[in-house]
Amino acid sequence: MASPNIETIVSLAKRRGFVFPSSEIYGGLGSAWDYGPLGVELCNNVKQAWWRWMVYERDDIEGLDSSIILNRMVWKYSGHEDTFSDPLRECRECNSRFRADKLEDEQSEASAAEQRKTEPNFRALVPRGAWFSAGKIKCPNCGKVNWTDEKPFNLMFQTHVGATAEDDESSLVYLRPETAQGIFINFANVLTTSRRKLPFGVAQIGKSFRNEVTPGNFIFRTREFEQMEMEYFVKPGEDEQAHQEWIDACHNWFTSLGISASNLRLYEQPKEELAHYAKRTVDIQYRFFPERDEDERQWDELMGIANRTDFDLRTHSKKPEDAEGKRLNPDSTEDLSYFDEANKERFYPYVIEPAAGVNRSVLAILMDAYSEKTNNKGETRVILKLHPSLAPIKVAILPLAKNKSEIVALAKSIKRSLQPSLRAVYDDTGGIGKLYARQDEIGTPFCVTVDHQSLEDEAVTVRDRDTWEQERVKVSDLQEHLLNRLKT
């Protein structure tokens, strides 16, 4: 089973120290979350798994860590200054502002479901804004129907660099809304220093910022989040096959981390949804909203895999000219084209971009790992069946009698001997049943119990999180035993 809804995970995450509402002692800050002791471990494990898979296990990918604040020209030529916006409507009665397309989707859903029965594609046939024009969309805040016209709201956070006045246009900069542009502007640097030939990719993990009009659903949509992006540069003409290979590889990566294939699906973005740079984009969607009646509304984007063509390298290059011979980018000092030695030809590589969110991945992983089991007393226990490589803690060492100093000493020495190779904790703050339940709920794959007999036979009991089966293992074999079982 998976979590029945996001709320179940919100409550578990706060109770056990995965995720806390940010700035809570001052009343919080809309859609900002802090990752607690277990949350930071889980995020780090997801990022390490991605980096290992993307960079270390392949021969054709380099890593990069570019600045969050870039020259404003990057966002001018990438198209973000002009087009990176959401459609906004304001309620004239209470001045609340909403993302118009989402509001229309939500409130038209009941009639949409009816109409879909006879016309499956009807959503594409009804023009955006039709429900607003028909006076059918109510303000979620005050319930009135009195809207301003729709206008674009740019999602980039602005700030100023240096000790300049707030209104000094020349000091205006943005917090990056995607990590990708840092890769494109470093294309020539990475190419020359790594002496790569096409096809090759550059991977980056880092924070991005978007002033979302309506963030929400816990860590699903926030204004500050982390992305794991890779730009894979290929020869034009080889882009379509590479794109399909990355779609399949990314889907397999999520299932290799234990996410059930039945909770993942591929979504082909229709033409009208494609970003200005994309030739084709396929999203991997996760069933983030299983509680919704209509299957179609249960899914939302976990990651996107786009074919960005040569748009980015071309737009940041000084060379391309318009029909009158005028440079399209008079501000760039570099040409980001590629010279193919074998065929003696120069061109702008196409780019395939697998782009995932760390936080959305963490949410999907938590939801999918959630399960419940009834013990022999008829009590329901939560088990977080995290893939061992992602589990924040790999093993908990539990003394059966905390008032027996030899048992405590042995348990602590076992913990110390394991911790250089495994994330291990020692816990004696409750009865054994309670300690097991706590570790099950945070996804610890193994508990090791030290008891009276351990003092005589130098063996301990290893308990499996998922089956609750126990086996006796010699202390001298314990590390190897655990490392072997964690590999599976």
Residues that bind ligand GAP (CB under 6 A): 178, 180, 210, 212, 221-222, 225, 227, 229, 301-304, 353, 355-357, 359-360
How many helical (H) and strand (E) elements, i.e. helices and strands, does the chain have?
A: 17, 23
Half-sphere exposure of 348 (CA within 13 A, CB side): 18
Q: How far is the CB of 225 from ligand GAP (least distance, A)?
A: 4
β-bridge mates for residue 172, sequence order: 160
Residue nearest to ligand GAP according to CB distances in the complex: 357
Q: How far apart are CA 226 and CA 238, in angstroms?
A: 30
Q: Residue 421 is encoded by which pair of tokens? A: 């190779």
Task: Determine the Cα–Cα distance for residues 434 and 374; give it in Å rounded to an integer.
Answer: 14
Closer to ligand GAP at the Cβ: 314 or 360? 360
Long-range contacts of 314-323 (CB under 8 A, 24+ apart): 314/348, 315/77, 315/78, 315/79, 316/74, 316/77, 316/78, 316/184, 316/185, 317/348
Tokens of 288: 């983030």
Closer to ligand GAP by Cβ: residue 231 or 427: 231
Chain centre to alpha carbon of residue 380: 30
Q: Pick the closer one to ligand GAP by CB: 355 or 396.
A: 355
Q: Which is nearer to ligand GAP, 360 or 463 (CB)?
A: 360
Pair of tokens at residue 295: 């299957």
Q: Which is nearer to ligand GAP, 223 or 297 (CB)?
A: 223
Which one, 76 or 485, has the nearer CB to ligand GAP?
76
Closest CB to ligand GAP among 102 and 381? 102
Cis peptide before 236 (omega within 30 of 0): no
In angstroms, what is the minimal distance from the CB of 152 to ligand GAP?
16
The nearest distance, CB 418 to ligand GAP, in angstroms, is 34
Nearer to ligand GAP (CB atom), residue 212 or residue 334: 212
CB-nearer residue toward ligand GAP: 84 or 446: 84
CB of 216 to ligand GAP, least distance (A): 10
Give the residue with the Cβ less far from ligand GAP, 100 or 351. Answer: 351
Helices 6-16 & 358-369 angle (0-180, nearest 10): 100
From the CB of 417, what's the least distance to ligand GAP, in Å? 39
In whole angstroms, how far apart are CA 18 and each of 282, 359, 371? 30, 12, 17
Min dist CB 228 to ligand GAP, Å, is 8
- Rounded CA gap, 73 and 10, in Å? 40
Interatomic CA distance for residues 200 and 97, integer angstroms: 43
In the complex, the smallest distance separating the C-beta of residue 97 from ligand GAP, rounded to whole angstroms, is 16
Cα gap 199→214, rounded to integer Å: 39
To the nearest whole angstrom, how small is the minimum distance from the Cβ of residue 249 to ligand GAP? 16
Radius of gyration in angstroms for the set of CA atoms belonging to the chain, rounded to a whole number: 26
- Beta carbon of residue 281, minimum distance to ligand GAP (angstroms, whole number): 8
Strand partners, 339: 346
Please, what is the minimum distance in Å from the beta carbon of residue 229 to ligand GAP?
5
Q: Give, rounded to a whole angstrom, the gap between the first and last alpha carbons of the chain.
A: 21
